[in-house]
Structure 1
Amino acid sequence: MSVEHLITSGQFTLDGGTWDVDNNVWLIGDDREVVVIDAAHDAGAIADTVGDRELKAIVCTHAHNDHVNAAAALADRTGAPIWLHPADAPLWEMVHPDRRPDRDLADGDEIAVAGTTLKVLHTPGHAPGAICLYAPDLSTVFTGDTLFNGGPGATGRSFSDFGTIITSIRERLLTLPGDTIVRTGHGQDTAIGAEAPHLEEWIARGH
């Protein structure tokens, strides 16, 4: 069982703006099977990292284009299903108007891969259907753009809300063990215990 990390680069586009971004793509599995979290920008590079293993699922933490723009191509190459929370359907359809996800994610779902379990936590705020994936066996939570090293994800654009993301972080993430590693959608890892003391600062800043 391992956690593999790939960085892909491209652009994030929303509300008429475009920004260059580097995305973290995560692969959880072993030498036989693997799950991909957030198929960003480069389906070929992700497929090369998967190699000859079975790709059990392409799991989307949310449907901003920079997190899902390679999902359809990766699914076509591998036959793997795409899983997304249905509240993010409007964002998904901006990127893939002719291709629906294959399965709806729901809070409390469990995704089994290579002898471990990823638990789905619905954590809206950055996007309505944003989810995190908690792997207690690995002492790790994959937070997408909900929680970063240094604070919550952005909430200044369409389909996002600051109060909602703060509630998600407070109730769903900061309740995890303090030594839980936070593997994010962009940037460096952190830990729950490193971020928890700063909650009131984030609220005071209001962003």
Structure 2
Amino acid sequence: MTGARCDRVVTAGTFSLDGGTWDVENNVWVVGDAEECIVIDAAHDAKPILEAVAGRRVLAVLLTHAHDDHIGAAGDLSAATGAPSYLHPGDRVLWDRVHAFAPDQELADGDVFEVGGIRLRVLHTPGHAPGACCFYSEELGAVFTGDTLFQGGPGATGRSFSDFPTIIDSIREKVLSLPPATVVHTGHGDDTTVGAEAPDLDAWIARGH
């Protein structure tokens, strides 16, 4: 096993879409070893994220999707670390509502990022947002799902650019196909596992949201 670790940073702010604004707390994940790391999501405020980075070299800022609560600190974080931001092009329509500048690089399904002796594989999982992505590490036995899958069910699909059947297909094909013991590190709230969520798929479909 490598010396890689995964640190969670919780940041607080707001999420705004479709004319509404809500107070939210977000999980930001810093994955790496003592020398280098990758940041997953850039929520609200760069300062606590930089404190968790603790002077390490940041290789990339990977964005699970472009709702404003997940990308608000992307510019500040990239400026402070020199690390490029990565976003799936399907979410540019959301990104452009928040930032006047473009993300540095595009994500694509199957891309692999290496850090601290582990790999993060990009899983394109549209539904909550068109360009939503998860990041899977076999070495860590974990998947970072953003707002695609939470403890207790799929992410919300009741707002613009979201679709319930699409998120169900994404979860079934890309997430629940992972080993049952895989830890699910979410964009908000507590962890779960693939095995804990998989039995409820039919109930989510019956509920329809």
TM-score, normalised by the number of residues in structure 2: 0.98
Aligned equivalent of 1:201, options 193, 200, 203: 203
Report the 3-state secondary structure (helix = DSSP H, G, I; strand = E; otherwise coil) of the residue aligned with 1:138. Answer: coil
Match of 1:20 in 2: 23
Worse-superposed segment, 45-54 or 10-19: 45-54
Report the 3-state secondary structure (helix = DSSP H, G, I; strand = E; otherwise coil) of the residue aligned with 2:174. Answer: helix
Q: Distance in 1 between matches of 2:196 and 2:52?
A: 30
Match of 1:142 in 2: 144
Match of 1:112 in 2: 114
Q: Indicate yes or no: 2:125 matched with 1:85.
A: no
Q: Which runs of 5+ in 1 are unaligned?
A: none
Q: Indicate yes or no: 2:55 matched with 1:52.
A: yes
Matches within 5 A, 1:165-204: 165-204=167-206
Q: Distance in 2 between matches of 1:59 and 1:180?
A: 20
Moved beyond 6 Å, runs of 4+? none
Match of 2:129 in 1: 127
Q: Which runs of 5+ in 2 are unaligned?
A: none
Q: Distance in 1 between matches of 2:32 and 2:174?
A: 24
Match of 2:45 in 1: 42
Q: CA deviation at 1:150?
A: 0.2
Report the 3-state secondary structure (helix = DSSP H, G, I; strand = E; otherwise coil) of the residue aligned with 1:137. Answer: coil
* Residue identity opposite 1:182 in structure 2: V
Q: Distance in 2 between matches of 1:148 and 1:30?
A: 26
Q: Distance in 1 between matches of 2:70 and 2:202?
A: 29
Q: CA deviation at 1:132?
A: 0.3
Aligned residues: 206
Match of 1:5 in 2: 8
Q: Distance in 1 between matches of 2:192 and 2:120?
A: 19
Any idea what the Cα deviations from partners look like across 1:86-108, whole Å, max 9, x if unmatched? 000010011112x1111100000
Report the 3-state secondary structure (helix = DSSP H, G, I; strand = E; otherwise coil) of the residue aligned with 2:80. Answer: helix
Q: Distance in 2 between matches of 1:28 and 1:190?
A: 18
Q: Distance in 2 between matches of 1:87 and 1:121?
A: 13
Q: Distance in 1 between matches of 2:55 and 2:193?
A: 32
